[in-house]
Amino acid sequence: MSKTFCPLPWNSINLRNNGDLRVCCNTNSYTKNRGILRKEDGTPYNAGRDDLNEARNAELLKEVRTSMMKGEWHSECERCRQEELNGVQSRRGYENDDWGHIMDGALSNTEEDGTINPDDFDIDYFDIRYGNFCNLKCRMCGPTDSHTWYDDFVNMHDKTTYKDTHDLITLTKNAKGKWSTNQYDWFKNSNYYWNNFEKYTNNVKRMYIVGGEPLIIEEHIESLERLVQSGRAKDIEIEYNTNLTNVTDRILKLWESFKQIRVGVSIDGYGDVLEYQRAPIKWKLLYRNMQRLDQNLDINLKCWFTFTVTPYNVLHLPEFMRWKLEESGLKRFNPLTGLRPLVTHHMCHSPKHFNVKVLPAIFKDEVAEKYQEYIDWILASGYSTKVKNSFIKICDGVTDFMLSEDYYKDHWDRFVFETTKLDELRNQDIKSVVPEFKHLL
Q: What are phi and psi of 316, to 5 degrees?
A: -85, -20
Quick one: which of 11, 17, 18, 27 contacts ligand SF4 (CB under 6 A)? 27
Stretch that binds ligand SF4, among 3-11, 54-62, 303-311, 416-424 (CB under 6 A): 3-11
Q: What are phi and psi of 279, to 5 degrees?
A: -55, 145
Question: Is residue 26 part of the contact set for ligand SF4 (CB under 6 A)?
Answer: yes
- Give the separation between CA 289 and CA 31, rounded to whole angstroms: 37
Question: Is residue 65 part of the contact set for ligand SF4 (CB under 6 A)?
Answer: no
Quick one: which of 13, 15, 23, 330 contacts ligand SF4 (CB under 6 A)? 23
User: Max CA-CA distance within the chain?
Assistant: 61
When the beta carbons of 72 and 198 are compared against ligand SF4, the nearer one is 72
Least spacing, CB of residue 24 vs ligand SF4, in Å: 3
Least spacing, CB of residue 6 vs ligand SF4, in Å: 3
Question: Is residue 21 part of the contact set for ligand SF4 (CB under 6 A)?
Answer: no
Say if residues 292 and 247 touch (Cβ distance below 8 Å): yes
The contacts of residue 261 (CB under 8 Å, 6+ apart) are 237, 238, 240, 255, 299, 300, 301, 302
When the beta carbons of 61 and 274 are compared against ligand SF4, the nearer one is 61
Q: How far apart are the first and last CA of the chain?
A: 44
One-letter amino acid identity for 347?
M
Least spacing, CB of residue 39 vs ligand SF4, in Å: 20
Question: Is residue 24 part of the contact set for ligand SF4 (CB under 6 A)?
Answer: yes
- Give the separation between CA 240 and CA 260, rounded to whole angstroms: 11
DSSP 8-state class, residue 311: T
- Give the separation between CA 236 and CA 207, rounded to whole angstroms: 7
x/- mask, ligand SF4, residues 106-145, rule CB under 6 A, reads ----------------------------------------
Say if residues 320 and 270 touch (Cβ distance below 8 Å): yes
Say if residues 33 and 60 touch (Cβ distance below 8 Å): yes
When the beta carbons of 92 and 316 are compared against ligand SF4, the nearer one is 92
Least spacing, CB of residue 259 vs ligand SF4, in Å: 23
Using N-to-C axis directions, what is the helix angle for 78-85 and 91-99, rounded to 10°? 100
Cis geometry, peptide bond prior to residue 114 (ω within 30 degrees of 0) = no
Question: Is residue 28 part of the contact set for ligand SF4 (CB under 6 A)?
Answer: no
Quick one: which of 20, 84, 95, 152 contacts ligand SF4 (CB under 6 A)? 95
Q: How many CA atoms lie within 13 A of 178 on its CB side?
A: 8
Stretch that binds ligand SF4, among 4-12, 181-189, 252-260, 327-335 (CB under 6 A): 4-12
When the beta carbons of 94 and 162 are compared against ligand SF4, the nearer one is 94
When the beta carbons of 95 and 152 are compared against ligand SF4, the nearer one is 95
The partner residues of 414 in beta bridges, in order of sequence, read none
Angle at 437 between CA 431 and CA 441, to 5 degrees: 90
Tell me the H-state helices in 176-308.
Answer: 191-200, 218-229, 249-255, 271-277, 283-295
Question: Is residue 228 part of the contact set for ligand SF4 (CB under 6 A)?
Answer: no
Nearest to ligand SF4 by Cβ — which residue? 6
Quick one: which of 9, 212, 264, 269 contacts ligand SF4 (CB under 6 A)? 9
* Residues contacting ligand SF4: total by CB under 6 A: 13
Q: What are phi and psi of 410, to 5 degrees?
A: -90, -20
Least spacing, CB of residue 52 vs ligand SF4, in Å: 17
- Give the separation between CA 11 and CA 350, rounded to whole angstroms: 26
- Give the separation between CA 334 and CA 30, rounded to whole angstroms: 29
Question: Is residue 91 part of the contact set for ligand SF4 (CB under 6 A)?
Answer: yes
Stretch that binds ligand SF4, among 77-85, 126-134, 185-193, 203-211 (CB under 6 A): 77-85
When the beta carbons of 79 and 324 are compared against ligand SF4, the nearer one is 79
- Give the separation between CA 283 and CA 300, rounded to whole angstroms: 25
When the beta carbons of 91 and 370 are compared against ligand SF4, the nearer one is 91
Q: Which residues bind ligand SF4 (CB under 6 A)?
A: 6, 8-9, 23-24, 26-27, 77, 79-80, 91-92, 95
